[in-house]
Structure 1
């Protein structure tokens, strides 16, 4: 379609007033994308020589014409960066429709300017700068070892801290290590750009070099520009993390305000127990903790309180073994008793089977009567695992939500992490420098039965700390208690001078009960009668000392 005489006149008038004096390149196109007019700037940029002309030539000879159709149809002004076919130079183009009196598109105007000149003008007028200038500044002044890789992966910026850290980690320029590190970082960049998401990885370079790499894409208005990478010495980073975690853990330990993160261990048995505990934490239900002595029932009870929405309210502990029936009755049910003090918090009764059944039933009745979302949570525990619970209202009520804690002998993969936890705590307490456990001690720990579970491990580790010199860094066999080594050597424990009184008493009691059981062919009734204790107390002591029940 050729322009009508009227339309040509419109364009001619437009030319005379504006086009030739326009400070940028300007082209007028007809509907075939053929140039019908070009100003002097456009001729100087696009024509083959100074005397050349552009009229009659098609836009496609100079740069892409894809935008023209879109402008013609939408009748909207559109912008795009184009590349000149002659020299590959970037130009910033604006495509505008020219409309007649009826609003129909009769032609297209294309203005263009060298991209660098356009950016300078934008900076001057707005104070805004392109990423290519801003990113190097961000990288340079970052307090960490940082680099930026553009999406084409052909251009990279990195700061002095990056260069210094790489040299230090790679033995001041070991070519093989540097090459391996470069390849790993490039792979992470590719993964980041492909997935368009933040990636954090700990990678091993060479034999023992561990580096934590954080790679994050830079996406603005849906466009991916590249990605930032930050590297850190993982061993050094882990050391500071451990110190921080230990400090916060010690504070919570002193305050006894435990969280689930304070429960050490990744064994399947413990993981399942923690998941179940988290499920119960914010439920308004009574919880029954079952586990051998020393398995951490009080720790779990406190965690259930302090890692829940009850943490702002009181946590009350009642050790049943310390009370007689009348005192316990007053302590619980008096006008100002513990049931009133606990408010919306948590009441934990340790060894609930030692509380008279009539008191427990009364407690269950009162809690059922006043049960509401604002009532306190009751947690009880027992270490009597091998006896049937009494048939009563209380135990029928409390047994609906049970949580059993595994003994340490069933989660041996947790022994070493627990040992390190106690070792770090003792270092702060006794000013020691123990950092690792020798392999032979690890073997002994894994072979031992730990009849008193975590509490026994804690005592063994504290004993080692008190014997260690201030300069000693490795916990070896010489630091372990004599009774522990004697048991592991399958010898009868010797009651040596300097042994703690309670350990000597426990060893004597365990041996005496074992001998009496053997003498009675493991008849519990005869053994309890001979020892002058109840069957219930005998079972308790057998569980306490991890004595095999043998026969009936």
Structure 2
């Protein structure tokens, strides 16, 4: 029984009340005193409120006596526990000896102690971790990787410090917050792709792209590795995100990394993580890799052909049973992730040249998607162009509310140009055009100016790439014919009249017309 006694603010009144209870030999489990109030928890099965009133009615200053459900401290603890239980991350409070003082419901679920919420209270934290509890007691808050009850978590540790009069406070324990790798992985995943992606968001109605979308939707339901091939700028990452978004892993992280962007040692640590002290400059607590952070989700390995042979071997070992070790670590970890890879290179040729492992190729290429170049899906160019123009108009904050339209000649130029940079080049060109545009109609000249600037900056590289190695040249005349044909094939779509091409190449338009007929080049 818990009772609340209200009284006047008289010195010694609480002591008088407790003395009376002591004479009755009642078992007092708890007593709390505040100004004008005395709270008592009495453990007595047959005690009634009438008996309590009769015992203390002689005490001067008693105002009222009421039975209550909880003492003030119990009520505060109850509210605090409810607050902790609302937090989805497991929280553990330990003292300076590593003894568990308090946990929330998320922690109890991890330890399979739901049948008795208090059962893990009083146990040592070392019963659940693979290291000494003293490693968790520091004078500063820190974050480290911790294996709790056999599962790895990114752990935030906040010291509990008791203040002292002189000097620094004494560490009396720590508050431990466990964050699952899946939850942690969602944060960089959201930063990489803040919008929803699905196959419905892929623009196109050509037969080529409809086939890719149909295959992709089917592959999304199959939890197997996918290899995406296609030229630069064809949208390989967009397809990879759609595969993830349409799969049963959609709610888990999607993390992407470009294998060509990092040197070997950094790429290894980014993928597999590293243990404490694995190398100079490494964090003392270690660091989880993308494989850990993407737990339950998907990892997109872009430009997989650029991965070193050493990492190819390590990735192959991982794909065999999805177990791995961190860099510098000895503990075997297991991951539940789906691997989606992509490359613009011909992996079959790389295998012949011994620069890509054949066994890894078969591991990655369980399911394959080949993305068409933009020149092979010309009926989609207008749809894509209108979409890019609308987005560009919003980004550059056009003063007019009307999105600019493309003239007929501009549409014709977009459809006839070869687009060596594919969709990415189309998007960039149109963004530049819209940024410079001041009218409601985009004329062909505006696109020609942007394309001409782009072409002038890169045509010397393209021309160099069209010249065949000396050992393939038959004779002077055939080499000259090959060069002229390649040159006109690149210039004529950009300058789609004999006059424009002649002005650009500084020759007569008759010569251009004659060469076009000779090589069968036409729009």
Question: TM-score by structure 2 length?
Answer: 0.45
Whichever of the two has the greater Rg, that structure is: 1
Looking at both structures, which has the greater relative contact order when contacts are Cα pairs under 8 Å and sequence separation is at least 6?
Answer: 2
Question: TM-score by structure 1 length?
Answer: 0.43
